[in-house]
């Protein structure tokens, strides 16, 4: 199987940037990271379909193995729609989060902090 090197390099760059942004604490950057990562994976699926060819509309003059593989394109189309829905939902969530706390960050879980602080007091000795 031969692959397109430009496609692979672009995919690598998109994925690297996406993963870097994912590790940020700011929600907007996390979202951008997810979008880049999603697009990188779409390119990966495209690359996995093999070399480009004519559209797979049957033409008696073109031998079967010349056509582009249509299945990865169908998969990518579905993946794009799903990523679109995710992006829209996350944008809504980020806006709501900002509207509530005026901060574009993942907040600390208050209950986690409480459990950590009250560890000794919560021992079994009292009510055994």
Partner 1 sequence: MSWIASLAPVAVVLPLLGAAGTFLLRRHAVAQRIISIAVVAVVLALESLMLASVWDGGATAVLLGGWAPPFGITMVVDQFSALMLVVSSVVSLAVLIYATSQGAADGDDDGPVSIFFPAYLILVAGVSNAFLAGDLFNLYVGFEILLTASYVLLTLGGSPERVRAGTTYVVISIVSSLLFLTAIAMIYGATGTVNMADLAVKLGELPAGTQTVLHLMLLCAFGIKAAVFPLSFWLPDSYPTAPAPVTAVFAGLLTKVGVYAIIRTQTLLFPDDRLDDLLLWVALATMVVGILGAVAQTDIKRMLSFTLTSHIGFMILGVGLGSRAGLAAAIYYVVHHIVVQTSLFLVVGLMERRAGSSNLDRLGSLAKVAPLLAVLYFIPAMNLAGIPPFSGFLGKLGLVDAAVRDGGWLAWTLVVGGMVTSLLTLLAVARVFNRGFWRPASEAESPDPLLLMAEAQDGSRVRTYQVVADRPESRFSDRGDVAVLPSGMVWCTGALVAVGVALTVFAGPLFGYADRAADALTHPQQYIEAVLGGHDVPAHHGGSGTGSDAGGEH
Q: Which residues bind partner 1 (CB under 8 A)?
A: 1, 22, 27, 30, 34, 37-38, 41, 44-45, 47-49, 71-72, 74-75, 77-79, 82, 85-86, 89-90, 93-94, 96-97, 100-101, 106-107, 109, 111-112, 115, 118-119, 122, 124, 127
- Longest CA pairwise span in the chain (Å): 86
Instruction: For tokens 């397109």, name the residue.
Output: 4
Which of 6, 101 has the CB closer to partner 1? 101
Helices within the chain (DSSP H only): 5-22, 27-48, 70-101, 110-117
Strand partners for 68: none
CB of 90 to partner 1, least distance (A): 6
CB of 29 to partner 1, least distance (A): 11
CB of 15 to partner 1, least distance (A): 9
Which of 62, 91 has the CB closer to partner 1? 91
Taking the C-alpha atoms of residue 76 and residue 39, their distance in angstroms, rounded to an integer, is: 9
Is there a contact between 15 and 40 (Cβ–Cβ < 8 Å)?
A: yes
């Amino acid at each position: 199987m031969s692959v397109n090197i430009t496609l692979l390099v672009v995919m690598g760059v998109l994925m690297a940037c996406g993963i870097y942004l994912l590790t940020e604490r700011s929600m907007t950057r996390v979202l951008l990271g997810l979008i880049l990562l999603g697009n990188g994976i779409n390119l990966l699926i495209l690359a996995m379909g093999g070399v480009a060819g004519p559209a797979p509309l049957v033409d008696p003059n073109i031998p079967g193995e010349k056509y582009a593989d249509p299945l990865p394109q169908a998969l990518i189309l579905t993946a794009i729609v799903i990523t679109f829905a995710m992006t829209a939902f996350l944008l809504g969530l980020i806006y709501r989060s900002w509207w509530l706390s005026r901060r574009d960050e993942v907040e600390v879980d208050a209950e986690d902090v409480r459990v950590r602080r009250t560890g000794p007091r919560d021992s079994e000795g009292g009510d055994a």
